[in-house]
Amino acid sequence: MATQTSDFLAAAAPRTVAVVQAITDDQLDLPTPCREYAVRDLLNHLYEVVVNFQTLAARKPVSWADKPDHLTEGWRDRFAVEIRRLIEAWSDPASEQGVSTGMGMPQSTLGGMVLLDLTVHGWDLAVATGQEYEPSSEVLPALHELTGQLGPQARQAGVFAEPVAVDAALPDLPRLLALTGRDPAWSPMP
């Protein structure tokens, strides 16, 4: 089976997996557009998101308190495996139904949140490590809508920064990044 969420994840995930697999060990301490995170920290965060959202797809609660180091032997290949498990978990039609017991949000919103993390953090990691990143164009309209809905609450919770002013004529990705408080022109160079 497939759902809209699993279809979107299947379209978006390979681009982020490619970025993650191309990160070299000497790039792990580089800064990222996420001010508190170096590449290593952002990779661990993204791993945690991917693993926890597998559980959330099954409508079970998760703990965000554990912060294991996922960057151990074979971490790049394990990330690809976890992404496949994530897509599988969200391919069950029940994954999009009802309200999450752990987060109190509609399940369909949670599916959008993990898609947003994969897309935006894929860009974060790419730009931090000097890689190209072209998101799946089919997911961007849904992510714009979701970011618009979650924006005020996400900013209040400190998940998003204040929106960055950008030209409305820019392509979808820079405008999406700006909505999350990222400068689409960010560079690791001062």
pLDDT tens across 11-62, in order? Answer: 999 999 999 999 999 999 999 999 889 999 999 999 999 999 999 999 988 8
pLDDT tens string 117-138:
999 999 999 999 999 999 999 9
CA-closest candidate to residue 45, choices 22, 8, 25, 20: 20
What are the boundaries of each domain within the chain? Answer: 4-134
Work out the mean pLDDT of the chain and round it to a whole number: 94
Instruction: Report the alpha-carbon distance of residue 38 to residue 36 in Å, rounded.
Output: 7
Q: Which residue has the higher pLDDT, 65 or 86?
A: 86
* Number of other CB atoms surrounding residue 145 within 10 Å: 11
Structure tokens given for 20 = 């993650």
State which fold the 4-134 domain adopts.
Four Helix Bundle (Hemerythrin (Met), subunit A) (1.20.120)
